[in-house]
């Protein structure tokens, strides 16, 4: 920044873009230093408002959630709002104030106050209405943000309308297709969700999230090979994408491709030692290999970290069945069912109950499993 006079227009553009880029790369200390430099050399209120906003977002959007400081972010965004409120130009004031309120909405969202976040975004959308046809991308972002909040509040019809409006403003922007696809997937509208994921893939650079989400869709449909292919693509694009290893390991284990599943478990545990999902798959693999002590150790670790994880109780039930502890198997499967009943859990408990001679209870579980779904697998 030394090549241009500090405080001038060119200097400001360079400073703002550099700080924003550094923040996006997670180099927050360097970005903060640039925003501090802006405050030191400039007396322009618009620059100070933008610097306050930028500093707030370093804390609110820090890539490491443990290092986010939402209290400090709120202080900085309040300063940005206070300055933007008194900007003399009406258009600049409406744009900046809407931008800042949207930033405060993110902080409210991260503190669990969805209604407050929605109110702020709606006020920003009202301000954007004063801008005419200017700042179309700003309006698109605000509509997409409101859609996310509406979806989180269960107002799915309105959320889909806002996603549609955001896409209409810029049909070439892939992120809105990805987000709408996620909502459609949750609603069980799989064909539409798949179309949105594929549109996101076509429009933008290769997005790991798009392939990951389509893999989930394929898995739900039972298209295992297609799901595995997409998860492989995710890992190629982002070798640190932990959830892709978790899901691929689980699918591979389900296909009895145990060596490949174990490789994914090991790779995932290098990224996240103690991950309960990966430890659960490891327990399943050790059980299948007859390594019962190792399976028990892995599942105990998983339980310590995630006692509410259904899969770990189901997996330990399978282990106990394999070691002849039929009562223990029934107890673990019963606990899994209490957490979240699933057809295969009833089927597996029926097998253990029948082995104990408790035939009436086994038949009742078979009936529950058949009523819920066909094709349940046994232990």
32 belongs to a structural domain? yes
Tally of domains in the chain: 1
Residue 61 lies in a domain: yes
Model confidence at 7, in pLDDT bands (50, 70, 90)? low
First to last CA, the chain: 66
User: Within a domain: residue 40?
Assistant: yes
Q: What is the CATH number of the domain that holds 121?
A: 1.25.40.10
Q: What pLDDT shows up at residue 374?
A: 57
Contacts 24+ apart (CB under 8 A), 36-41: 37/1, 37/6, 38/12, 41/6, 41/7
User: In the prediction, which pLDDT does 145 show?
Assistant: 96
- The two tokens of residue 276 are 């309960």
Q: Please report whether residue 262 resides in a domain.
A: no
pLDDT number for residue 204: 85
Q: What is the rounded distance in angstroms from the CA atom of residue 292 to the CA atom of residue 277?
A: 18
- Whole domain around residue 7: which residue ranges? 1-129
Its pTM stands at 0.82
Q: Which two tokens stand for residue 307?
A: 């006692």
- Residue 6: helix, strand or coil by DSSP? coil
Residue 297 lies in a domain: no
Separation of alpha carbons 107 and 81, rounded Å: 14
pLDDT at 376: 42
Does residue 227 form part of some domain? Answer: no
pLDDT digits (tens, 9 = 90+) for 292-302: 999 999 999 99
The pLDDT of residue 337 is 96
Confidence of residue 248 (pLDDT cuts 50, 70, 90): very high
Does a structural domain hold residue 63?
Answer: yes
Whole-angstrom Cα distance, residue 65 to residue 325?
42
Task: Tell me what pLDDT residue 4 has.
Answer: 65
| pLDDT score for 375 | 47
| Residue 111 reports pLDDT greater than 70 | yes
| Residue 159, domain member (yes or no) | no
């Amino acid at each position: 920044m030394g090549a241009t006079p500090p405080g001038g227009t060119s200097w400001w553009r360079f400073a703002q873009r550099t700080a924003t880029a550094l923040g996006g790369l997670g180099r927050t200390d360097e970005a903060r230093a640039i925003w501090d430099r802006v405050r030191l050399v400039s007396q322009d209120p618009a620059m100070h408002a933008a610097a306050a906003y930028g500093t707030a977002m370093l804390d609110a959007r820090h890539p490491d959630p443990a290092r986010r400081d939402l209290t400090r972010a709120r202080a900085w965004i309040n300063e940005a709002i206070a300055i933007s409120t008194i900007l003399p130009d009406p258009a600049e004031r409406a744009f900046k104030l809407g931008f800042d309120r949207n930033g405060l909405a993110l902080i409210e969202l991260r503190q669990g106050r969805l209604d407050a976040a929605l109110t702020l975004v709606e006020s920003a959308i009202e301000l954007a209405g004063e801008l005419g046809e200017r700042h179309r991308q700003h309006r698109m972002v605000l509509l997409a943000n409101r859609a996310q909040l509406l979806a989180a509040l269960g107002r799915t019809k309105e959320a889909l309308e806002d996603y549609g409006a955001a896409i209409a403003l810029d049909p070439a922007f892939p992120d809105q297709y990805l987000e709408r696809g996620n909502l459609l997937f949750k609603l069980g509208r799989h064909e539409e969700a798949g179309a949105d994921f594929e549109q996101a893939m076509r429009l933008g650079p290769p997005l790991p999230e798009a392939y990951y989400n389509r893999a989930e869709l394929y898995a739900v449909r039972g298209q295992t090979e297609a799901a595995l292919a997409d998860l492989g693509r995710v890992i190629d694009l982002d070798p640190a994408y932990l959830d892709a290893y978790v899901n691929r390991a689980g699918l591979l284990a389900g296909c009895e491709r145990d060596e490949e599943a174990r490789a994914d478990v090991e790779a995932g545990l290098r990224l996240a030692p103690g991950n309960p999902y990966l430890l659960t798959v490891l327990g399943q693999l050790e059980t299948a290999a007859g390594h019962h002590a190792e399976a028990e150790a892995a599942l105990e670790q998983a339980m310590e970290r995630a006692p509410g994880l259904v899969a770990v109780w189901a997996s330990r039930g399978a282990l106990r069945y394999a070691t002849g502890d039929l009562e223990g198997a029934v107890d673990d499967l019963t606990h899994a069912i209490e957490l979240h009943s699933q057809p295969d859990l009833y089927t597996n408990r029926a097998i253990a109950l029948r082995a104990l001679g408790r035939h009436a209870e086994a038949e009742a579980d078979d009936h529950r499993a058949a009523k819920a779904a066909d094709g349940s697998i046994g232990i």
